[in-house]
Structure 1
Amino acid sequence: MFGLHLLDIFAILLYFGVVVFIGMMANRRIKNEEDYFMGGRKFGKLISVFLAFGTGTSSDTAISASRETYRAGMAGIWIQLLWLFITPFYWIVAPWYRRLRVITGGDYFQLRFNSKALTGLYVGFSFLSLMFAIAVAMTAIGKTVEIVTVKPVQELTVEERQSVEQYEELTQLRQSQSERTLEAREQSRLEELSALEKAGAVKARYSFLNTSVAVPVIALIILFYGVAGGLFAAAWTDSLQGILILLLSMLLLPSGLSEIGWFSGLHEKIPDHMFDLVSNATASEYTWYYILVLIVMNLVGVVAQPHFFATGGGGAKDEITARVGMVFGNFLKRFTTIMWGLTGIVALALFGDVIKDADMIWGYATRQLLGPGFVGIMIACLLAAAMSSADALMICGSALFTRNFYEYIVPGKSEKHYVLIGRLASVALIVGAVAISLYFNNILSLLKYIWQLPVIFGTVFWLSIYWRRLTVKAALTAVGYSWIMIVLLPGILPEFSWVAGHAHKEILAQPNLAMLYMVGFDLPSLSKPMLMTINYGLQVIVPFLLLFAVSLVTAPPERKRLNEVFARLHTPVCADENEDRNRVRACVNNPQLLEKDKWLPGSNWEFIRPDKKSVNGFLICIAIAFAILGFAFFISRLTFP
């Protein structure tokens, strides 16, 4: 059935049954908005670790890591491993989300700036970024299910067989074109088949379950248990799914390495440069400077991610739980990233001559290397990875819509009413993600787009935490500029004929690079990695400059409102809610209490002196990051057995 063994179908149905049961059980604990959107702020360390691990780990993280190493060698793991040296900073920022005592990022921006316009923009940005993040996961699992359930030749229809034969002919013509000049007849045939491929009439394969079927089915399952149980269901299922994700990271390697002759056989088949962790500009884009700018850009953007206000520590029962959950959940992901990258190298050695679409490699390896039952377990693991991210992101998105949009226009309703609206918003978010997934249908193009989106509000968030002088007008200016440069212009510039027909259209399609090119910079002489480094660097630097410049020429924000924000950030969370509320209120009423912990008392800068727990924890995290990097280097150089 569907190209799967009965054991495989049983494994998948068993997984679906368990997560749906968890959702139904979690539904009994939902009493109010805080329960539905934040899990009642009751999560302990283990649940927090798996919540952070599950939310940050999706099927696309496994598939994109293996995809990039398949394409660019071990340096390709930086598509996910770039977060390695960002993770120690989570030890510093995790308490922020707990101390702010808000449910959503929209709550924070409204509290800090008292601007419905800025809050509304944040809600819109968050919905867009969450839809794209969920779409990435769905695209990855859809492509894998598609190739795992591929039809054998004898079950193809006449039309399907003709389409596959035409694809093989197209592949041969493209190969010939790369080796010699085609004859006129061949060139005409190449153009004809290429047009049919673009229209979807020529395909490499046909499957019992294609992406357009698999993605909506997965979405329905996520909606069923996620809408019922809220963040409780997401956290509990993430514990199960976290175990399956760990299994996912190891499942293909034993059989793959065994077939190729283990590590010694792997190095015989793959060129040495493919095992370099840092590449050069001619081999791939993952040069040291491109990796560095990606790390900086993501560090700036990640703090404003909408789900961090819940899964980044906001749902934890105390600050140390927030830190442990956020840091070690993400370190667990960094370790598994290395194993996924190694899987891509093993797949290249085994199937490099067969698979040209790197997005398909995980599914093809699953079909070739795993037996009945294990294919179903692999699909269940990938489903777990996709659903563990999508469920939490869905709940965070619905919280934003409900609290920071709907409650503004329909105030005064009951908690039960707002939970219902949150559930309906979850449905809308998932439907939007499905539409994006089916439109893009390419994992890397989705990833490189969503890398940039968090920067839009990330610059504002960082400066709002550390600089009292930041104004709402400056924030709106920077957000507007970033939206134009990251979302609007890159979308419309390629449509202009003078850009599309230009010899350097890749440069002119990016507004930052286009401006530099038009004022005389010799950008065409630079490598692609250097161009991307410059582009991403400007997307971070210019908004910060705008924030400073506009803030200094506009009226400072209201001091009383600022005291409320920074009183929360200065006051550690207390388990007793009444006592916690009283401590915050004492700091609000006596702002001088806020000055004693600052490095620069009396100034607009809010650099709080770190305690030993913060310093020692951060240094330990740095050491762990280097240890994980060392493990990656060890694995890439291992030549025995």
Structure 2
Amino acid sequence: MNLQLNPIDWIVLIGYLIGVAVIGILAGMKIRGTESYFMGDRGFNRWLMIGQSFGIGTHAEMPVSLAGAVYSTGFSGIWFQWKNLFATPFYWVIAPLFRRMRRTTIGEVVEDRYGPWMGVVYTAFAIAFFTINMASMLKGAGKVISQATGGDVSANTIVLAMTVIFLLYSFIGGLVATAWTDFAQGFLIIALSFLLVPLGWGLVGGMEGMRQTLEPHFFSLATPSGIGVWFIMMLTINGLIGIISQPHQLAAVGTGKDEHTCRTGMFYGNFVKRICTVGWALVGLIVAALVLQPQHGFAPLADPEDAFGMACRHLLFPGGLGLMVASILAANMSTCSAFMVDSGALFTKNLYQRFFRKTETDRHYLWAGRISGLVLSAMGVLYALFLVERVLYSFLLTETMATYMGISIFGGILWKRATRWGAVASLLTPLVVNFSLMAAKGERLDHWEPNVFGISLLSGIAALVVVSLMTKPEPEAASEEFFQRFEEPVEGTAKPGTRLLLADLGHGLKKGGHYGEDIRGFFLGWGMVALLVGLTWLWLRM
């Protein structure tokens, strides 16, 4: 069966593309300077922040890679995306840190803490992060659309077409366009997550039919034949430490009008994604059953990551394919547009303005950000076209790189004695250990294994502590200014004197009920996580 786009599909697609372009152009008319373009004037409401966190954090390669993992290993493959589930309650206490950083990029924060050249090291990491992550997203979307339309259009052609679209409205509208399009496109992403499930459910005979077809371990949340508890633990730590160093997070989380809005956006935006993940996993389970049930006549997939695309091609009704393609484009372009804006900000603030053109007008830096974002996005396209083989491992590579970078950032916030030499050691040591162990095992450098990750992470933490204690402390004046920034909220964003649990954790907690909002939100988050896991577990046992 080769499902082609019909007139209804084209109407849906064209309507979507026109709508996104109009939003970007209208938002661009309001852009007056770098603060608007890069940070949206830090004035977004809670709904825009939820939509922004959800849209930026949800990419088209995620359902592709996750459905492929579940197709291969069973439902426990959900932990490739649920790896951040147990980290989600911590987002409530992490989010206000981004609002108090008072900077445009994480690179500036690193420079404030460890000095100029460490800021350059972070910038190099961030450019690599944006390049590989954008490539993974583009390739993932290209693969699923190519499969969904029968392979008549190559994945690389789709990559190029998507790039032109998101570059258009991002170049004009910056983060304002990104926030509004993320909000609108969030509804399409939810459709992407659950549209295929009811269409395939009856075809495989529901849960009873899948149980008769698939091995028992396919219905386990944690199993040695899929992904065990140790694997899940390492994935969770990977996500928790890495979140603070991901270069797009400052714009994604720290641009709310106040600290509570930032908390709400980061926590609930990411929790909606955790719910959508269940839909992606179900697609992988359904495809695994379809392939094994002989009456459907489907051959086993040569590439497990083709599972989601195959489901699109064989399950969707006329018009549904257009909605699905629009949803995939939405999932990708919402994130790629943010990456373009954030990479432009990073290059402009941390390299161009810092070292080359220090006294230009704000309008000059605005155009520098636009053009550099365009060029850096082109690097991601080239990586997608020529270097990405497995989307899942490319995704995990960027997450792991962020974790190794996050050692020094978390360490720098929690421990005043951390030094720049300890910071660079905490980055280089785990990278060398990780890649050396992978090479010794004969694996690609973007392969991920929990034991290798755990050893590498411990080596990085040890390097931070040992090298920091052996080297000269950071200048006291700069260090004190950095830590004072986290002690007092930006005017109008929280009650004066409000303390943050995470900011005080390594320096002595204060008495007097300072951390009520931190603690209430943290435990509410754990309750929601327990409810989601419990309901999923009960459903798998039906």
* Alignment counterpart, residue 390 of structure 1, candidates 336, 361, 369: 336
Aligned to 1:407: 353
Aligned to 1:563: 480
Aligned to 1:619: 523
| TM superposition shift of 1:349 | 1.0
Aligned to 1:575: 492
Aligned to 1:256: 200
Aligned to 2:507: 605
| TM superposition shift of 1:323 | 0.2
Query: Which region of structure 1 is more displaced relative to structure 2, 260-269 or 118-127?
Result: 260-269
* Alignment counterpart, residue 455 of structure 2, candidates 522, 538, 559: 538
- Amino acid paired to 1:475: A
1:595 and 1:239 map into 2 onto residues whose CA distance is: 28
* Aligned pairs for 1:58-97 within 5 A: 58-97=59-98
Residues 596, 477 of structure 1: alpha-carbon distance in 2 compared, 3 angstrom cutoff: closer
| TM superposition shift of 1:86 | 0.5
* Aligned pairs for 1:36-435 within 5 A: 36-113=37-114, 115-150=115-150, 207-280=151-224, 283-284=225-226, 286-312=227-253, 314-352=254-292, 353-354=298-299, 355-408=301-354, 409-435=356-382
- Amino acid paired to 2:432: I
2:332 and 2:359 map into 1 onto residues whose CA distance is: 36
| TM superposition shift of 1:431 | 0.9
1:597 and 1:21 map into 2 onto residues whose CA distance is: 41
1:630 and 1:597 map into 2 onto residues whose CA distance is: 28
2:451 and 2:149 map into 1 onto residues whose CA distance is: 42
Residues 89, 596 of structure 1: alpha-carbon distance in 2 compared, 3 angstrom cutoff: closer
1:595 and 1:264 map into 2 onto residues whose CA distance is: 49
Residues 595, 483 of structure 1: alpha-carbon distance in 2 compared, 3 angstrom cutoff: closer
Residues 238, 270 of structure 1: alpha-carbon distance in 2 compared, 3 angstrom cutoff: same
Preserved CA contact (<8 Å) 1:247 1:381: yes
2:172 and 2:510 map into 1 onto residues whose CA distance is: 41
Aligned to 1:474: 422
2:502 and 2:185 map into 1 onto residues whose CA distance is: 41
Aligned to 2:295: none
| TM superposition shift of 1:30 | 1.0
Residues 454, 595 of structure 1: alpha-carbon distance in 2 compared, 3 angstrom cutoff: closer
2:510 and 2:17 map into 1 onto residues whose CA distance is: 47
Q: CA RMSD in A?
A: 2.6
Preserved CA contact (<8 Å) 2:487 2:500: no
| TM superposition shift of 1:226 | 0.9
Q: Residue deviations 1:70-93, cap 9 Å, x none?
A: 111000000001110011111111
1:216 and 1:306 map into 2 onto residues whose CA distance is: 24
Secondary structure of the structure 2 residue equivalent to 1:454? helix
Q: Residue deviations 1:110-163, cap 9 Å, x none?
A: 1112x221111101100111111111111111011211222xxxxxxxxxxxxx
2:4 and 2:537 map into 1 onto residues whose CA distance is: 39
Secondary structure of the structure 2 residue equivalent to 1:457? helix
- Amino acid paired to 2:406: G
1:117 and 1:424 map into 2 onto residues whose CA distance is: 24
Query: Which region of structure 1 is more displaced relative to structure 2, 28-37 or 470-479?
Result: 470-479
| TM superposition shift of 1:264 | 2.1
- Amino acid paired to 1:629: V
| TM superposition shift of 1:611 | 1.2
1:323 and 1:288 map into 2 onto residues whose CA distance is: 29
2:127 and 2:347 map into 1 onto residues whose CA distance is: 8
| TM superposition shift of 1:17 | 0.7
Q: Residue deviations 1:501-548, cap 9 Å, x none?
A: xxx645xx889xxxxxxxxxxxxxxxx99xx33211122111111111
1:2 and 1:209 map into 2 onto residues whose CA distance is: 12
Preserved CA contact (<8 Å) 1:255 1:369: yes
* Alignment counterpart, residue 448 of structure 1, candidates 392, 396, 416: 396
Secondary structure of the structure 2 residue equivalent to 1:315? coil
- Amino acid paired to 1:420: W
Preserved CA contact (<8 Å) 2:50 2:269: yes
Residues 436, 7 of structure 1: alpha-carbon distance in 2 compared, 3 angstrom cutoff: same
Runs (5+) with no aligned partner, structure 1: 151-206, 512-527, 588-592
- Amino acid paired to 1:104: T
Residues 339, 32 of structure 1: alpha-carbon distance in 2 compared, 3 angstrom cutoff: same
Preserved CA contact (<8 Å) 1:41 1:315: yes
Q: Residue deviations 1:184-215, cap 9 Å, x none?
A: xxxxxxxxxxxxxxxxxxxxxxx321012110
| TM superposition shift of 1:608 | 5.8
Identity %: 30
Q: Residue deviations 1:426-447, cap 9 Å, x none?
A: 1112211111112214212312
Residue 383 (structure 2) pairs with residue 436 (structure 1) = yes
Scaled by the length of structure 1, what TM-score is found? 0.79
Query: Which region of structure 1 is more displaced relative to structure 2, 443-452 or 382-391?
Result: 443-452
2:264 and 2:120 map into 1 onto residues whose CA distance is: 32
Q: Residue deviations 1:6-36, cap 9 Å, x none?
A: 2112211111111111100110111111111
Aligned to 1:631: 535
| TM superposition shift of 1:104 | 0.4
Residues 136, 299 of structure 1: alpha-carbon distance in 2 compared, 3 angstrom cutoff: same
Residues 88, 359 of structure 1: alpha-carbon distance in 2 compared, 3 angstrom cutoff: same
For the pair shown, the structure with the greater C-alpha radius of gyration is 1
1:257 and 1:510 map into 2 onto residues whose CA distance is: 38
Residues 112, 599 of structure 1: alpha-carbon distance in 2 compared, 3 angstrom cutoff: closer
Runs (5+) with no aligned partner, structure 2: 293-297
| TM superposition shift of 1:631 | 2.1
Q: Residue deviations 1:265-296, cap 9 Å, x none?
A: 2222222221000011xx23x11111111111
| TM superposition shift of 1:597 | 12
Residues 149, 557 of structure 1: alpha-carbon distance in 2 compared, 3 angstrom cutoff: same
Residues 557, 331 of structure 1: alpha-carbon distance in 2 compared, 3 angstrom cutoff: same
Aligned length: 531
1:595 and 1:248 map into 2 onto residues whose CA distance is: 37
Residue 25 (structure 2) pairs with residue 24 (structure 1) = yes
- Amino acid paired to 1:351: V
Aligned to 1:179: none
Scaled by the length of structure 2, what TM-score is found? 0.93
